[in-house]
Chain A
Amino acid sequence: MVLGFTAAAIAMLVCLIPAGLVVARGDLADAVVAYEFITAVVVMVLALLAQAFQRSSLFELPVLLALLMFGGGLVFVRAVERWL
């Protein structure tokens, strides 16, 4: 385990707390922005944890989430624009 990567992942997870507050308390537009922030940070956290633990099965997760972040984010934003 590489300590620097683990520490950075934990620190980034702590940084999600303000965005979580915005999701919980803000209006819909603010929550969408905070959701995008959280998704971007979670991709980095997964990449950092995969590097920290050096298990080959963990390395696919950030790639998949990064792809899904783009597709899912666009669908969600379109839903916000038209229906929500």
Chain B
Amino acid sequence: MARDVCADVLLGLAVAVVFGASLGVLLMRDAYQKLHFVTPAALFAPVLVALAVLVQMGLYENTGETCLALLFMVIAGPYLSHATMRAIRVREKGDWRPGKEPER
């Protein structure tokens, strides 16, 4: 019973994080601002989901596989965000480094 309640609370928090992040992606002005709201969905929500799975199911093979998938997300998220921001800046300015933009 306590496990169920704890897992449900963690899942509710994860859904709340994703909901807030989705509103941020919809409402923010440009891609740089929107990208800040991808991070909660790609970092915090997977951790909460993994904790909920661990609390509900305990340690066994399928739980490990789920946690592995969520771990990949947590590792890949920041790299992907960095690469995206860099690509958008290169598209806009011609170079990602400040002061190195080609003259137009």
Contact = CB atoms under 8 A, between A and B. Distances in A.
Interface residues of B, number: 49
What band does the interface of chain A fall in when counting residues whose beta carbon is under 8 Å from B?
35 or more
A50 B66 contact: yes
Contact of B65 (A19, A48, A63): A63
Interface string A28-71: 11101110110011011011101100101001101101110110
Interface string A7-37: 1100110011111011000011110111011
A30 B35 CA distance: 9
Contacts of B76: 66, 69-70, 73
Interface of A: 2, 4-5, 7-8, 11-12, 15-19, 21-22, 27-30, 32-34, 36-37, 40-41, 43-44, 46-48, 50-51, 54, 56, 59-60, 62-63, 65-67, 69-70, 73-74, 77-78, 80-81
Interface of B: 4, 7-8, 11-12, 14-15, 18-19, 21-23, 25-26, 30-31, 34-35, 37-38, 41-42, 45-46, 49, 52-53, 56-57, 62, 65-66, 68-70, 72-73, 76-77, 79-81, 83-84, 86-88, 90-91
